[in-house]
A and B are shown apart, each in its own frame.
Chain A
Amino acid sequence: MNITVNGEQRSASNGTTISQLLDELQIPQTRVAVEINLEIAPKATYGQRTLQDGDRIEIVHFVGGG
């Protein structure tokens, strides 16, 4: 299936969870937030929530700012 992560098209295997995606991208789960189709995915759901074809995913974190 195809998903969009932070504006980039990617392919992912069916049944991929948020946790698996983050692991694959080498993104530590602490201090990030994940939004799927404009809805925030609570951290507690990362292990169970599976991604669907066409999902638009935003993964954000904190950077320097004023």
Chain B
Amino acid sequence: MAPGKLTIAGREFNSRLMVGTGKYATNEQMVAALEASGAEIITVAVRRVNLAEMGKGCMLDFIDPKKYTLLPNTAACYTAEDAIRTCRLAREAGLSDMVKLEVLGDEKTLFPDNEELLKAAKVLVAEGFTVLPYCSDDVILCKKLEQLGCAAVMPLAAPIGSGLGIRNPYNLKIIMEAVSVPVIVDAGVGTASDAALAMELGCDGILMNTAIAGAKDPIAMARAMKLGVEAGRLAFEAGRIPKKLYATASSPLTDIIGS
């Protein structure tokens, strides 16, 4: 049995794992890691073309556009204005309306500036973008993002690149109860069990970059994450047993020898 599909803004995806394309040692390593992850949605950043390095080819030369849905991000944007500008450029460059909207508040934590995020989301939704916002794990904020018309909410599990794992599973649970758009954990996971936990909680998907790209063997970690996400999702769909304090025997308690 395969886990159920993920639907974002009417589009179906088999994989619930989305991965970033940053920080790999080489493009070849990135391609192999993407393949091993089974991801169908991959994030990319929007940057100035380096005029001195033209003719050397770019990272997209390595990626099969038929195989992956590109999700441009607004990384390094600290105002709604910059994030909106970046999304418009991304749409023109990639001809897709789907964007990962992030508006950062501070360089040390890379936590979102949620006030600017709401402002940007409102404008972008009105312009027809499919907005997937990276946000705090705050239920009120997530409800507001949903009301504005965002296609999903992407609360962080922990600071970007920290590898601290799911720091507040209870907030994620509350968010999942409160919104009807997909809840995609974005940022903070470190290893496969973190991914499995997010999925066991019932999250619809998970997005990560550093946990894979920064691992000693990124390709092996990409596969581990794929398996972790699948295992966690299946466990969620299967319905786990309730936790109890005391034992329940697994073997029959009747016809015991010598009784």
Tell me if B47 and A60 are in contact (CB < 8 A): yes
Is B195 interfacial (CB 8 A cutoff)?
no
Closest 3 A/B residue pairs (Cβ): A65-B45, A66-B20, A66-B209
Bound Cα distance from A8 to B21, whole angstroms? 28
Is B55 interfacial (CB 8 A cutoff)?
yes
Tell me if B75 and A65 are in contact (CB < 8 A): yes
Tell me if A5 and B51 are in contact (CB < 8 A): yes
The winner among B45, B75, B210 for most chain A CB atoms within 10 A is B45
Is A49 interfacial (CB 8 A cutoff)?
no
Interface size of B as a range? 35 or more
List which A18-40 residues lie within 8 A (CB) of chain B. Answer: 25-27, 31-35, 38, 40
Tell me if A63 and B45 are in contact (CB < 8 A): yes
The winner among B23, B49, B54, B209 for most chain A CB atoms within 10 A is B49
Given contacts A61-B46, A62-B60, 12 further A-B contacts (CB under 8 A): A25-B51, A34-B92, A38-B85, A43-B92, A60-B89, A63-B58, A64-B44, A65-B21, A65-B22, A65-B73, A66-B75, A66-B207
Tell me if A58 and B48 are in contact (CB < 8 A): yes
Bound Cα distance from A38 to B84, whole angstroms? 12
Interface SS of chain A: strand
What residues make up the interface of A, taking CB atoms closer than 8 Å to B?
5-8, 25-27, 31-35, 38, 40, 42-43, 58-66
Contact of A6 among B23, B49, B60 (CB under 8 A): B49
Residues of A contacting B45 in the complex (Cβ-Cβ under 8 angstroms): 62-66
Residues of A contacting B94 in the complex (Cβ-Cβ under 8 angstroms): 31, 62
Bound Cα distance from A35 to B49, whole angstroms? 12
Residues of A contacting B208 in the complex (Cβ-Cβ under 8 angstroms): 66
Bound Cα distance from A16 to B75, whole angstroms? 33
Q: How many A-B residue pairs have CB under 8 A?
A: 101
Interface SS of chain B: mixed
Query: What distance in Å separates the Cβ of A49 from its nearest Cβ neighbour in chain B?
Result: 14
Tell me if A64 and B49 are in contact (CB < 8 A): no
Query: What distance in Å separates the Cβ of B185 from its nearest Cβ neighbour in chain A?
Result: 13
Residues of A contacting B20 in the complex (Cβ-Cβ under 8 angstroms): 64-66
Residues of B contacting A62 in the complex (Cβ-Cβ under 8 angstroms): 44-47, 58-60, 70, 72, 90, 93-94
A60-B46 contact, Cβ under 8 Å, with A5-B51, A65-B75, A66-B210: yes
Whose C-beta in chain A lies nearest to the C-beta of B49? A59
Residues of B contacting A26 in the complex (Cβ-Cβ under 8 angstroms): 54-55
Residues of A contacting B59 in the complex (Cβ-Cβ under 8 angstroms): 62-64
Bound Cα distance from A11 to B70, whole angstroms? 35
> Quick one: CB contact mask for B1-37 with A, threshold 8 Å, 1 for yes?
0000000000000000000111110000010000000
Is B164 interfacial (CB 8 A cutoff)?
no
Q: 5 interchain pairs (CB within 8 A)?
A: A60-B46, A60-B93, A61-B93, A63-B45, A66-B210
